[in-house]
Structure 1
Amino acid sequence: MIRLCTICARGGSKGVPGKNIAQMQGRPLIAWSIDQARQSGLFSAIAVSSDSEGILAAAAEAGADHLIRRPAEMATDIAPKVAAIRHALEQASLMAKLSPDVLVDLDATSPLRLPEDIIGAVTLLEDTACSNVITGATARRSPYFNLVEERPDGSVGLSKPGSGIVRRQDAPRAFDMNASIYVWDVPRFLAAPAVFNDDTRLFEMPEERSIDIDSALDFEFVSYILGKRLKGLSS
């Protein structure tokens, strides 16, 4: 089984400018994901895709195998990430001279994951032979009881009204996607690149490893948790 890891990190973050190479516990943020990919022991190659020379330089310093310059049209605020992932897959496959069976994309802004999470998500894909696996944590709100949506007229209502479910025990489990790990069967991804397919599975991660950095507050919070983790490892 040939597995390829991609990490797509553009340089134009608005919430936390320069966050992908901002110092997180003394290291560029992107270095944490590269290390986790390496420590999982799963990958024939680890590739980083970016429109930023600074990010690519930090990725090279952190040990990425291949650096991919992302086209400008794939690095805007509105560009879909799946297109950038496909571009990274195709370019990295050429650079590494590989024909991967499995593609794993790690989000550089989710450094609280562990190598075991990557292994678990890949194992789920390979054991079930599904098209792809996403990751998430148990949702704090249920669409059947206390998750509401705003209607065009400004009123609100349950996200899943009229279900007939009156007991929480009878409601299907709901999850918050944490955008940490995406795993695809490569032939099916190339045929129809998508995050959701009819047979998509979810690998559950705990809430404390599911924080995605979107704001300065997120950055401080994640840094605090990582600091505590490092202190625990050294004690």
Structure 2
Amino acid sequence: MSIAIIPARGGSKRIPKKNIKDFNGKPLIAYSLAAAKASRAFTRVFVSTDDDAIANTAMQYGADDILRRSNSTLADDYATTGDVMQDALQQLTVREDTKDLLSLVCCLYATAPLLQAAYLSRAASMFKEMKAADASLAYIFSATGFAFPVQRGFTINDGKLSMLFPECMQTRSQDLSEVFHDAGQFYFAGGNTWLAKAPVFTERSVPMNLPRYLVQDIDTSEDWIQAEFLHKALMSSMPAHSENAG
């Protein structure tokens, strides 16, 4: 069995009710649910939440079932994705066939409206093939490249600039290595990996590189506005992919 679990708590501080806030005509979480369903990569799609409104919205937009968080600390500002995934799987292993359940589990973020179903399908196939060839594989996760060389970055403290890598200040951009970061969309692993809360960013994990135009962090109001612009542009330029993106 291949399943997806979408963590979605109700206590977002910077953008209140973020996971179900209207995003270009639909609740934000609806896009992740649509992509998961369109990918045909999962037998079932669950949503882990502490919030009634999120639970109701998730079921309305295609979730197969809701996993209520075991305690309030799993919905506070300090709970990690690993904590939430472990809790969800512990609940599922009580009521489901453990052997089937633990083969492939995807953590899919609710805040990924640009996500394309094709990448979920590809990542699922990639995980199965690579895991069969190398049992030590931990995760396959979404990643993307920084838009500007991080080696030329700097901080500003009390109005004063400080280069992060002074030795790269005069280096041409084309001579600097490309640097990547977590895209914050999906993470595929075996169920036992999630239950053990194994770290994601190690040599045992493999990133799937996504185009930058399909990635946007959504933590602030400015992020939200930019994500809506990107989504509208994507829908107008790629009509054939509209269903996949929600």
TM-score, normalised to structure 1's length?
0.84
Instruction: State the alpha-carbon separation in 2 of the partners of residues 82 and 177 from structure 1.
Output: 15
* Change in CA separation of 1:26 and 1:174 when aligned onto 2, cut-off 3 Å: same
Instruction: State the alpha-carbon separation in 1 of the partners of residues 230 and 148 from structure 2.
Output: 24
Instruction: State the alpha-carbon separation in 2 of the partners of residues 158 and 221 from structure 1.
Output: 27
* Change in CA separation of 1:184 and 1:170 when aligned onto 2, cut-off 3 Å: farther
Instruction: State the alpha-carbon separation in 1 of the partners of residues 161 and 228 from structure 2.
Output: 38
Alignment of 1:12-161 (within 5 A): 12-70=11-69, 71-97=71-97, 98-129=100-131, 130-143=137-150, 145-148=151-154, 156-158=162-164
Instruction: State the alpha-carbon separation in 2 of the partners of residues 66 and 209 from structure 1.
Output: 27
Unaligned runs of 5+ in 2: 132-136
Which segment drifts farther, 7-16 or 221-230? 221-230
- 8 A Cα contact 1:131 1:188, kept in partner: yes
State the match for 1:218 in structure 2: 223
Task: Note the aligned Cα RMSD (angstroms).
Answer: 2.7
- 8 A Cα contact 1:45 1:96, kept in partner: no
AA partner of residue 120 (structure 2): I
* Change in CA separation of 1:199 and 1:148 when aligned onto 2, cut-off 3 Å: farther
- 8 A Cα contact 2:152 2:163, kept in partner: no
Q: CA deviation at 1:108?
A: 0.8
Unaligned runs of 5+ in 1: none
State the match for 2:134 in structure 1: none
State the match for 1:193 in structure 2: 198
Q: CA deviation at 1:93?
A: 4.4
Instruction: State the alpha-carbon separation in 1 of the partners of residues 161 and 173 from structure 2.
Output: 24
- 8 A Cα contact 2:114 2:214, kept in partner: yes
AA partner of residue 16 (structure 2): P
- Relative contact order higher in (CA < 8 Å, ≥ 6 apart): 2
AA partner of residue 158 (structure 1): L
Residue deviations 1:177-209 (CA, integer Å, cap 9, x gap)? 121111112233333432223311110011111
- 8 A Cα contact 2:216 2:223, kept in partner: yes
* Change in CA separation of 1:221 and 1:168 when aligned onto 2, cut-off 3 Å: closer
- 8 A Cα contact 1:133 1:202, kept in partner: yes
AA partner of residue 125 (structure 1): F
- 8 A Cα contact 1:135 1:202, kept in partner: yes
Q: CA deviation at 1:155?
A: 8.2
Identity over the aligned pairs, expressed in percent?
26
Which segment drifts farther, 177-186 or 118-127? 118-127
